[in-house]
């Protein structure tokens, strides 16, 4: 079994640590926004290491939409390439931990429908998309 390698970003690493060590009862919101976060566990596409990425919680039925917004930065976050390589992930939503598989959603009308859910859950996504020339990748994680 590969090792877990924590994020190099301190506040992200701290959030994962608190979320997981509390069994999903603490550290489950983005800073002081009060908006819920999930933890996606996946595998590094080069190292094979276990990675844990907190993302905003965007629910679609039994699934979750994963939004590679990275605050509207010009480049995709690295986890995008990890999910494209290996779509098998684990999603932790507070105390629930679920094995899921992701698929990237690029085509209308599904993408438009999911994007509307994303902006409803976390309105700054709209502003992030306006800041960057890349189309923000979206993945739908569904139960296996």
Element (H, E) at 65: strand 63-67
Q: Which of 71, 84, 73 is nearest to 43 (CA)?
A: 84
Minimum Å gap between C-beta 24 and ligand F42 is 14
Regarding 56 and contact with ligand F42 (CB under 6 A), the answer is: yes
Regarding 28 and contact with ligand F42 (CB under 6 A), the answer is: no
User: Which of 17, 24, 36, 45 is close enough to bind ligand F42 by CB under 6 A?
Assistant: 45
Cα separation, 54 vs 57, whole angstroms:
9
User: Which of 82, 114, 138, 141 is close enough to bind ligand F42 by CB under 6 A?
Assistant: 82
Regarding 49 and contact with ligand F42 (CB under 6 A), the answer is: yes
Asked if 18 and 8 touch (Cβ cutoff 8 Å), the reply is: no
Minimum Å gap between C-beta 61 and ligand F42 is 19
| 89 strand-pairing partners | 100
């Amino acid at each position: 079994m590969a090792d877990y390698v924590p994020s190099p970003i301190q506040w992200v690493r701290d959030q994962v640590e608190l979320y997981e060590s509390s069994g999903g009862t603490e550290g489950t919101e983005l800073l002081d926004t009060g908006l819920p976060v999930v933890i996606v566990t996946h595998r590094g596409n080069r190292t094979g290491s276990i990675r844990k990425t907190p993302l905003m919680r965007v629910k679609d039925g039994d699934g979750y939409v994963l939004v590679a917004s990275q605050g509207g930065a010009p480049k995709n976050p690295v986890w995008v390439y990890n999910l494209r390589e290996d779509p098998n992930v684990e999603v932790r939503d507070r105390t629930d931990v679920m094995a899921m598989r992701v698929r990237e959603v690029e085509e209308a009308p599904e993408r438009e429908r999911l994007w509307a859910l994303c902006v409803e859950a976390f309105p700054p996504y709209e502003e992030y998309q306006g800041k960057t020339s890349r189309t923000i990748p979206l993945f739908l994680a569904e139960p296996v």
